[in-house]
A and B are shown apart, each in its own frame.
Chain A
Amino acid sequence: MTHYIRLDVVSMVRSGYFLVFSVLFSAGFYVMFTKLFTVSGWTSAPGFAATYMIALAVSGAFYAALTGGGIRLGEERGSGWARQLTLTPLSPRRYVLGKLVSAWLLALPALAAIFILGVLLNQVRMPVGRWALLLAATWGGSACFAVFGVAIGLLVAGEATQFACLGVFFPMAILGGLWFPTSAFPETIRQLGDYLPTGALYRLGIAAEQGSGPVATPLLVLACWTALALLAALARLRPEAFRPSG
């Protein structure tokens, strides 16, 4: 399985579009709103460079995990490659687990790239222990996104997977407050954001960075979404799932 994970990650990185969207998209937003534009009441808030860094890092990780897990799994099921590969001693279960792990690994460069930008461009500073905690929290929490991606990739196959993943990505990223402040949204929608995995991981990251803040609720939210996605994935993980959609 490690051989498969290695080659899957390599092929994903080589594909290029993955890096463009997971790293460059977030990086562009970060540069735009911390260096180029000022939006009063938002970008001028104290500590914005650090909080927005965390928000966009989570966004990049979310995209990377959804793409690496979901889009690829759905496409490979649709094309018949998943079937071919699972007709070897690599069982469907381990193939999907491999996809999950590689999607999770692919979240790492997105997180690291935005954190490095924060340090270099905006002099975001915190003790090494806090950095480690922040990375551990955001990457650990990204496992939820990887499971999410895999569940989508098992529910939808072929080209439709791409739309399904983006259909999950945009609303969840926006409602989770990863791109813009949710203060302009109606109260109910703002509260909803806290119960999305994106909003929960964002708040967990802020808590890690500040060394204080709510931890139990975001963790619980993430755990619930992970369990839900895992159940959906397991329900769909049957031999028939690997026949290409003709």
Chain B
Amino acid sequence: MEALTAMTPDTWQVSIRDVTFSYGAVPALAGVTLGISAGEVVALLGPNGAGKSTLTHVMLGLLTPRTGQVSLFGTRPQEAVARGLVGAMLQDTGLMRHVTVRELVGLVAAQYGRAGLTGEILDAAGLADLGARRVSRLSGGQRQRVKFALAIAGDPRLLFLDEPTAALDVEARHAFWQDILERAGRGRTIVFATHYMEEAEAYANRIIVLQAGQVVADGPARQITSRVSDVTLRFTDPDAREEELARLPGALRVRGDPRRADRWELVTSDQDATLSALYAASGRGVRDLEISRGSLEDVLMALAKETGRA
């Protein structure tokens, strides 16, 4: 949070202020304000229809908000796109027909002045063997990889991904996130929309939760997922006593395992504080720690209660 408060709007790569948007009479964004700075990996999390895609389109300048301001790199989204600072992988993206994978990726790379790097781009997207294949002969997963190649063809400083792993199998999904994390490690900014909480938790360092067109939570990934839904810790500790555990910071409930005297179940609202206190206490031999959390639905329900909108 220190980093967030120390930031000024000038350093934001994405700045959105009081943005509203509606499709005809149907509201899609109801006053969204947020800033994203360089090197962040941000998950836009929310159920279908929460406004993730609309927000992504607004950030890319593909939709003009009804009210509010949007800027990328301190300028209009279209200008940032024209300068080659942005890459995107969106849903419902058709591909050009009657061309090969290499021709297509080469075309997009050329727009960023990187036509000579087409081979490397194909490698990065796992398409090294498919360069000569006609685009129309690709499988669903292969098409998805081509779309990813198009998004990264310019090695953009800011990358938008809308439900990027939708058509990918487990192995391709893993390779995909490896590449994304490598980019983030080089200071690239990643914004991805997903309705999988596991994906947001595993790969984002910041989560923005959207519901009914509003930001209902925004913060470091761990803070979001633990703040809104209580975390259950299960562990083995032969020396622990119930009343001691109940006094740990953040602890809400403690329950002993009726079958094993040294096995405990502790529900906490602040797992970091609880765990560090638990480990810090001398003589403790905490073993076999398990941490479980609620699902996205639990998170959303908790957030809805918190913000007073069920």
Structural contact, B81 and A244, CB atoms closer than 8 A: no
Smallest CB–CB gap between A204 and chain B, Å?
33
Q: What is the 8 Å Cβ interface bit string for chain A, positions 213-246, against chain B (1 contact, 0 not)?
A: 0000000000000000000000000011011101
Structural contact, B108 and A81, CB atoms closer than 8 A: no
Q: Which of B51-104 contact A (CB under 8 A)?
A: 57, 60-64, 78, 81-84, 86-88, 90, 92-99, 103
Structural contact, A243 and B63, CB atoms closer than 8 A: yes
In the bound complex, what is the Cα–Cα distance between A79 and B92 (angstroms)? 7
In the bound complex, what is the Cα–Cα distance between A103 and B61 (angstroms)? 28
Determine the chain A residues whose CB is within 8 A of the CB of B224 once the complex forms. Answer: none
Structural contact, B62 and A239, CB atoms closer than 8 A: yes
Provide the main secondary structure of the chain A interface: helix
Smallest CB–CB gap between A208 and chain B, Å?
34
Stretch binding the partner chain, chosen from B1-9, B109-117, B192-200 = B109-117
Task: Choose among B90, B97, B103 the residue that contacts A83 (Cβ–Cβ < 8 A).
Answer: B90
Determine the chain B residues whose CB is within 8 A of the CB of A11 once the complex forms. Answer: 96-99
Q: Which of A57-101 contact B (CB under 8 A)?
A: 76, 78-81, 83-91
Q: Which of A105-133 contact B (CB under 8 A)?
A: none
User: Contacts A88-B108, A91-B78 known; A244 to B96 CB distance under 8 Å?
Assistant: no
In the bound complex, what is the Cα–Cα distance between A8 and B107 (angstroms)? 10
- Using C-beta atoms within 8 Å of the partner chain, give the interface range for chain B: 20 to 34
Smallest CB–CB gap between A13 and chain B, Å?
8
Structural contact, A85 and B78, CB atoms closer than 8 A: no
The listed residue with most B CB atoms (<10 A of its CB), out of A8, A78, A86, A239, is A239
Task: Choose among A80, A87, A239 the residue that contacts B63 (Cβ–Cβ < 8 A).
Answer: A239
Smallest CB–CB gap between A170 and chain B, Å?
25
Structural contact, B93 and A81, CB atoms closer than 8 A: yes
In the bound complex, what is the Cα–Cα distance between A8 and B78 (angstroms)? 23
In the bound complex, what is the Cα–Cα distance between A10 and B87 (angstroms)? 26
Structural contact, B84 and A76, CB atoms closer than 8 A: no
User: Contacts A88-B81, A240-B63 known; A15 to B97 CB distance under 8 Å?
Assistant: yes
Interface residues of B (CB under 8 A from A): 57, 60-64, 78, 81-84, 86-88, 90, 92-99, 103, 107-108, 110-112, 115, 147, 150, 153-154
The 6 A-B pairs with the shortest beta carbon distances in the complex, nearest first, are A79-B94, A88-B111, A11-B98, A14-B98, A80-B93, A81-B94
- With contacts A11-B97, A15-B98, A89-B81 known, what are 5 further pairs, Cβ within 8 A? A12-B98, A79-B94, A88-B112, A89-B84, A90-B111
Interface residues of A (CB under 8 A from B): 3-4, 7-8, 10-12, 14-15, 76, 78-81, 83-91, 239-240, 242-244, 246
